[in-house]
Structure 1
Amino acid sequence: MENQINSENAKLIALQLGLLSAELQDRNMLWFLNSITQLYLNENQLYVSLIEYDFGQSKEGQSQLQILQRFFEKYFCDKIPGLSDVIHQSQTFDTIIDFLLKINGNFDRTDKLNIPYQNLLGFLFKVNAFSTIYDQNKSVVKSFAKPKSFLQANETSDIELVYKTQRLDSSDDQTVRREIEISQEIQNSSFLIKIFAYLKIKKQTFIFMRKYQGTLAKRLETLNNLTLQERKKTVIKLSFRFIKAIKAMQDLKIIHRDLKPENLFLDNLDLQLSNIIIGDFDCSKKLQDRDCDRDMSINHQSNTYKYDAPEIKYSFEYDIFQYALIVLTIANNNKYIGKEIVGCRNLNEQDHEEYYSKESLLKNSNLSQYPSDFIDMISKCLKRDPQQRPTNKDIYEYTSSLYYLGTIKVENTVQQISEVQTRQNQNYQPLLSENLTQQQQQQQQQQQQSQLQQQQQQQQQQQQQQQQQQQQQQQQQQQQQQQQQQQQQQQQQQQQQQQQIIIINNNNNNNNEQGSQQQQQQQQQYQQQQQQQQQQQQQQQQQQQEQQQQQQSQQQQQQQQQLQQQQPQQQQQQQQQQQQHKRKQEKQNKNI
């Protein structure tokens, strides 16, 4: 790379190297930059490789700033006027970076109308335009054409990328640092937002992410174009895909604490087909065991109060509450239930029960159209006490049964309300446990059906084996018949030869009576031998046929015995399936 550095590109390379070194020191990562061969350049963009990191020359008291100053003296000071004076006078990275920003095109100047250093992004990545997607509170999100340097992005689907940043006057460095650290944890999940890289320019951090089809908040209005049945099915699908994303996040020990439709991204414009991708982890936290009983700080709390849970403790149940409140709002035709301005945290226990109890929810005409079990699940997730809420596993198993089995039906509003009023003081089994027993029954039925299929396959295999044996026996018989025919032909040839001999003898010994008598005796003996041989062959054939018949009859008897043994088992399994089906229908009738 040393031959590629000149007075024109040295300034831009030094700026990128200064930003990299400053971030490494900020993250307490010491990189021993000793040689120009540790750097790679492609279209004036700087790349470094972990393979080139040298961790074997550590010296006490050495900082990343000192390493960079020595490196600049060795390779850059002779190409950049004034750099030597700056690095000898600087005690921090900011002074060096300000100098490099200025000489590269006055990028140190900030414009209040635009995001600070956005012009530097355009210069580095050769981007001409940025389109604003979101600009509220502290966050700013803009899209731009994918640069060639983002090799991690998909060449066909990632036509555009987005960057997310915070306004400089309200930026919380810990919040940004937390989101960057969490982004490294979620890279392998398809249900959590894809982050490609980040760039920190002094206090301004840009996080580069995949651009999705939009947010759930902007697509909810499309539900109004669906029929009642289609809308309910879509809500069930979204509830299942949403909890699947939460489960993936909580499996990584991450709590989000700011779930809302604006933070849920879609990979398809059709809500019936789209997955839910969770994004915006600036309020999130990697949960440790010691955090479970701690209260959230003000900086860790969300900016949208209406979806906040009542408690302020670190817990997975916090996200479960927000999940249920979002699903409830969607099911209620996008109308919030509760006090939208202050949120659930400022409700007393009585008001909370009046809004979110199962009985209260089923009185709502929009919600009463859904299965009562589904409303019961939402009500349990909205319990004021976090310990009474179901886990993500419980919700996942229940919603997956609705999603895959298609048990979504229209409920009669009047019947539901009257039924709830008559059961207010009755105890009933929890919804999730009932659903689990139904799933177990279905699994048992599937196992029984698979066993029956295996038995049928075994019978077919046995029949095929019998057919093969019969074919083999027929082939053996044919071979034996061919051998017999060959023997008969040989005998006939011998007879002809003997007759010829006899004729010759008769012609030569007409006057010899004794010779003729001997010949006659020989002929009689030969005929007797032939008869005996034929009788022996017939006896052998009869014995072979009798043996074959005995073997076939024995095989048939064995098969019949096996079938007789299998038939009672099949009848018992069919009876069990019928009984389980009747019980399931009775339970469904009771629920209706």
Structure 2
Amino acid sequence: MLFQSIKIISFGADYDILQEFNDFSKQDKPYNKYQIVVKKNDQESKQKYIAAYYPFNKQQRDIIDMFYLVKQIKILNIINKEDFYHEDDQFIIVYPFLQNYQLSVESIKHLDKNTKVSIMVQLSITLLEMAKRKIPFNITNLNQLVLIDGIVFINMQEFHYYEKSTDTQSLNYLKQFIRNNFQLNEIQEIDQFHFEANTIESFTESILSTFNLIVKDYENAQYFKVFQHIFKVSNYTQLADYQANSHIYKFQKLPVFEKIFSFPLTQDIIAKSTKIQGEEDQDIEDVKVNITREIQLMELFEVNHEIAACFKYIRILDQSYLFMRYYCKNLRQYFELMNQNQSVYFTKLIVYAIAYQFIKGLALLHFAGIKHRDLKPENLFLTNQNILYGQIHIADFDRSIIQQKDNQGLDIDYFDQTNTPEYNPPEQRKLRDHSVDIWQYGLTIYEVANKGQYPGARICLDFNQYYSPQVIEGKLQQYNYDKEFMDVIKQCLKEDPQQRPQAREIERIMQKLYEKEQSKQAKGPKLFSSQSFKWQKSQQIEEQVVSDI
């Protein structure tokens, strides 16, 4: 199932055409024409784009699937689409206009040694990741590559969807590219590359070892030296302590991000790198599986959704670095701020705003068939310290899974529980569906309504002692919440998962309560409008398109 949105309206309604090129009889191109275009609603900057037209046959299911895979993938060193359209028997894919940055034989001659080394490192890492993601890419000419501020990008406009390649072919083309474009007398270390290697992974390891980029560093993520070599990041802050399961780096956004991405980013950027560790080999393999799962889930969403999704990632051999916007706080930190500063407190309006924002994101996940399984205040990120002026984004998907529509639940064993016992539902070892998330939503909102004080038990031996309707009513009655709000918490914390409500049902109630409280207080801005409806509508259309093909 495909979750990122395609365009609901036509290409012609979005773009004006400046030039068209369609004579490729003597060139090996995957598209039959391309146009230089500008957006109709962008009268000021007149930023140019390339619109490439790719014909397809409705019987070529594997090719169609490849189009959609490439469309959503977030590997850092590939140029992704700006827009994606399906019209008749062709895909129209719009890319940033970056021809001024294309590599050429002449431009390579003027690069210094460090930049050339970095290009080889980046290409080997990227082609390895593309092979892992089942989209092997053959570098056949320099026009396929773009170099911006020392970062090399593969231009997916030139990707041959119709020609099946293999990892071996991709490796051989990479070796040939290095031999043809980098001279041994300039970079003598090339002679030490393992050109006899028969896998991209072993060839990549030989490149990193040759340039002394594989070092033991117990204070940083694995291959952090490679990360620094590529991105020239020297000023950074580690946000996670040594006991955390991830390294979290904060640094200023790179200038190249401004040139390559059209969506807005925060001034500071986060790179999250999950630690690959465990007592047994199987534990380590499980971590790697979780990393891949988190990446694939984050690729289902774009940065304008209520999800703290990465906008790009790079995986150096097995070690991933996920690039995300910087959030000022998570909800747990906001609770701590309340305890330290009496001027910071939850009004009823703020409580309802949190409940509404949170459920919008959760409803979006459930619409996409995703179970989060680790919802808690630490995994709810704030875009603004003034909650009424920002959004709440759901984060941390390394325990999430996709729930197939024909599958009502999954067998969960002891080792497949959520990360945080305090927020586990009573049925944690039984069949579970989306109701697990509803329990965690209800308990988190119960905590919010209780002014940031956790109302449950780490190990609950007596359910009614903590979660009966009478206990919930008794804890919250002093705050004068609406009956509908109290009822939602009670329903979410039902012991029987089948009796808990659906996310969409809760969203409707919370929206009504928030807007009612907002109008009553006659203050506070409206919450930023959600992208959820637009995303869901386009998702329904995309599902129909795919089913019709």
1:193 maps to which residue? 308
Identity of aligned residues (%): 27
Tell me the alpha carbon deviations over residues 308-367 of structure 1, each in whole angstroms, 9 at most, x when there is no partner. Answer: 122243422111110000011122232222322x3x5xx4xxx21332121122222666
Tell me the alpha carbon deviations over residues 183-205 of structure 1, each in whole angstroms, 9 at most, x when there is no partner. Answer: 11111543111422111111211
1:321 maps to which residue? 439
Distance in 1 (CA, whole Å) between partners of 2:303 and 2:327 is: 17
2:515 maps to which residue? 404
Change (3 A) 1:2 1:301: farther
Distance in 2 (CA, whole Å) between partners of 1:85 and 1:55 is: 34
Q: Which amino acid aligns with 1:159?
A: Q
Q: Which amino acid aligns with 1:183?
A: M
TM-score by length of 1: 0.62
Aligned 1:192-211 pairs, distance under 5 A: 192-211=307-326
Distance in 1 (CA, whole Å) between partners of 2:171 and 2:129 is: 11
Cα distance, 1:291 vs structure 2: 3.9
Distance in 2 (CA, whole Å) between partners of 1:132 and 1:238 is: 28
Cα distance, 1:82 vs structure 2: 5.0
Equivalent in 420, 432, 452 of residue 334 of structure 1: 452
Cα distance, 1:306 vs structure 2: 0.5
1:218 maps to which residue? 333
Distance in 2 (CA, whole Å) between partners of 1:194 and 1:61 is: 29
Tell me the alpha carbon deviations over residues 37-91 of structure 1, each in whole angstroms, 9 at most, x when there is no partner. Answer: 2212223221111111134554679443233233333333645435356343323
Change (3 A) 1:37 1:373: closer
**Other structure's SS at 2:359 match:** helix
**Other structure's SS at 1:207 match:** strand
2:363 maps to which residue? 247
Tell me the alpha carbon deviations over residues 2-45 of structure 1, each in whole angstroms, 9 at most, x when there is no partner. Answer: 22335713322111111011111111212122122221222322
Distance in 2 (CA, whole Å) between partners of 1:60 and 1:68 is: 12
Change (3 A) 1:77 1:178: farther
- The 8 Å contact of residues 338 and 344 in structure 2, kept in 1 or not, is answered as no
Equivalent in 17, 33, 43 of residue 139 of structure 2: 33
Change (3 A) 1:132 1:227: closer
Gap regions ≥5 residues in structure 1: 410-592
Distance in 2 (CA, whole Å) between partners of 1:322 and 1:275 is: 19
Cα distance, 1:266 vs structure 2: 0.6
Farther off after superposition, 298-307 or 60-69? 60-69
Farther off after superposition, 210-219 or 86-95? 86-95
- The 8 Å contact of residues 331 and 366 in structure 1, kept in 2 or not, is answered as no
Distance in 1 (CA, whole Å) between partners of 2:344 and 2:105 is: 68
Cα distance, 1:166 vs structure 2: 1.4
Equivalent in 219, 234, 246 of residue 139 of structure 1: 246
Equivalent in 277, 292, 295 of residue 177 of structure 1: 292
**Other structure's SS at 1:289 match:** coil
**Other structure's SS at 2:412 match:** coil
Name the structure, 1 or 2, with higher relative contact order (CA <8 Å, separation 6+): 2
Change (3 A) 1:81 1:352: same
**Other structure's SS at 2:443 match:** helix
Aligned 1:8-407 pairs, distance under 5 A: 8=113, 9-58=115-164, 62-76=168-182, 78=184, 80-83=187-190, 86-104=193-211, 106-135=212-241, 136-151=243-258, 158-170=266-278, 172-187=287-302, 189-223=304-338, 231-296=347-412, 300-312=416-428, 313-340=431-458, 342=459, 347=461, 351-364=462-475, 369-406=480-517
Q: Which amino acid aligns with 2:249?
A: K
Cα distance, 1:371 vs structure 2: 3.0
**In terms of Rg, which structure is larger?**
1
Change (3 A) 1:83 1:328: same
Change (3 A) 1:47 1:59: closer
2:73 maps to which residue? none
1:486 maps to which residue? none
Distance in 2 (CA, whole Å) between partners of 1:361 and 1:29 is: 52
Change (3 A) 1:129 1:5: same
Cα distance, 1:120 vs structure 2: 2.7
RMSD: 2.8
Gap regions ≥5 residues in structure 2: 1-103, 279-283, 521-549
- The 8 Å contact of residues 423 and 443 in structure 2, kept in 1 or not, is answered as yes
Q: Which amino acid aligns with 1:132?
A: Q
Q: Which amino acid aligns with 1:383?
A: K
- The 8 Å contact of residues 69 and 87 in structure 1, kept in 2 or not, is answered as no
**Other structure's SS at 1:41 match:** strand
Farther off after superposition, 163-172 or 297-306? 297-306
Cα distance, 1:245 vs structure 2: 1.6
Distance in 2 (CA, whole Å) between partners of 1:60 and 1:11 is: 25
- The 8 Å contact of residues 197 and 208 in structure 1, kept in 2 or not, is answered as yes
Distance in 2 (CA, whole Å) between partners of 1:12 and 1:183 is: 27
- The 8 Å contact of residues 11 and 100 in structure 1, kept in 2 or not, is answered as no
**Other structure's SS at 1:370 match:** coil
Q: Which amino acid aligns with 1:160?
A: D
Distance in 1 (CA, whole Å) between partners of 2:272 and 2:346 is: 35
